[in-house]
Structure 1
Amino acid sequence: MSMRREAFLAHVQERGQYATRDDAERVARVVLALLGAHLIGTVRAELAARLPETYALILLNPLQAAEPLSPERFVRATAAWIEGATEKTALWDIGAVLSTVAAAAGDGLTHEILLQLPPGYDLLFGHPHPT
């Protein structure tokens, strides 16, 4: 059963402490587009099935990554795509989105997702922590 769009965005907004739903929407799109480029096969399809349709489509038609990005480069890439972002704010944005993705995916699928990603991504899937 996929999470509804409003519930997904509310989750991201709450975790990221964004002022508006639009802010949550913007970061969700960027992070999912970058994530989708790193996932393949049934894992990507299963995750898409658990996300709201808007975000499932982004995940399934991702920005093409020439190579898997290390967590640090994923953060830099996210910062580059979000207007006015820094690496510190991008790290927060990623945590807000990916912790929501992990909640939607459940533990088993999140584990499978992490197996497809370079080492260190488990930290990005945690809740954002104020620094």
Structure 2
Amino acid sequence: MTMRGEVFLAPVQERGEYDIRQEAERAARVVLALLGAHLVGAERAELAARLPEEYARILLNPLPAVEPLSAERFVRATAAWIEGATEDTATWHIGAVLSVVADAAGEELMSRILLQLPPGYDFLFSHPQPA
């Protein structure tokens, strides 16, 4: 069941407290492009199927990652891609986007996604995992 763009973007805008929709869109595009570079196989395809088409395409056609980014480096990369962002604001952008992604994914898929990612990503998704 694919969600429509505004159904995805509205909670991103709300959680990120963005004044304008374009800020939420920019954050979503950057975060999903970076995330897509780190997910492979069935999990990436399943997650894409649960996102609006325009965001699914970003997730499925990322820039290739040379190596998996730690959660800390993911934050730094996001800050580098969003004009004027600091690591603190990048963490805010990531949380706004990935918490909505986690809601769309559901528990079972999120568990499998987190197994693919380096430690620490559970907090970026606002989805802490038991140690």
Q: Given the two structures, how large is their TM-score scaled by the length of structure 1?
A: 0.95
C-alpha deviation, 1:4, in angstroms: 1.2
Answering whether residue 36 of structure 2 is matched by residue 36 of structure 1, we say yes
Is the Cα contact below 8 Å between 1:31 and 1:78 reproduced in 2? yes
Aligned ranges 1:1-131 → 2 under 5 Å? 1-126=1-126
> In the alignment, residue 81 of structure 1 is paired with which amino acid?
W
C-alpha deviation, 1:41, in angstroms: 0.4
Q: Note the alpha carbon deviations across 1:50-109, whole angstroms, 9 max, x for none.
A: 000000000000011100000000000000000000000000000000000000111111
> In the alignment, residue 47 of structure 2 is paired with which amino acid?
L
SS of 1:88 mapped into structure 2? helix
RMSD: 0.8
Is the Cα contact below 8 Å between 1:12 and 1:24 reproduced in 2? yes
CA distance in 2, matches of 1:100, 1:3: 12
Q: Given the two structures, how large is their TM-score scaled by the length of structure 2?
A: 0.95
C-alpha deviation, 1:33, in angstroms: 0.1
> In the alignment, residue 107 of structure 2 is paired with which amino acid?
D
Unaligned runs of 5+ in 2: none
CA distance in 2, matches of 1:19, 1:106: 28
Is the Cα contact below 8 Å between 1:2 and 1:104 reproduced in 2? no
CA distance in 2, matches of 1:2, 1:123: 25
CA distance in 2, matches of 1:3, 1:95: 19
Aligned-residue identity in percent:
76
Equivalent residues, number: 127
C-alpha deviation, 1:2, in angstroms: 1.5
CA distance in 1, matches of 2:109, 2:5: 20
C-alpha deviation, 1:125, in angstroms: 0.2
> In the alignment, residue 12 of structure 1 is paired with which amino acid?
V
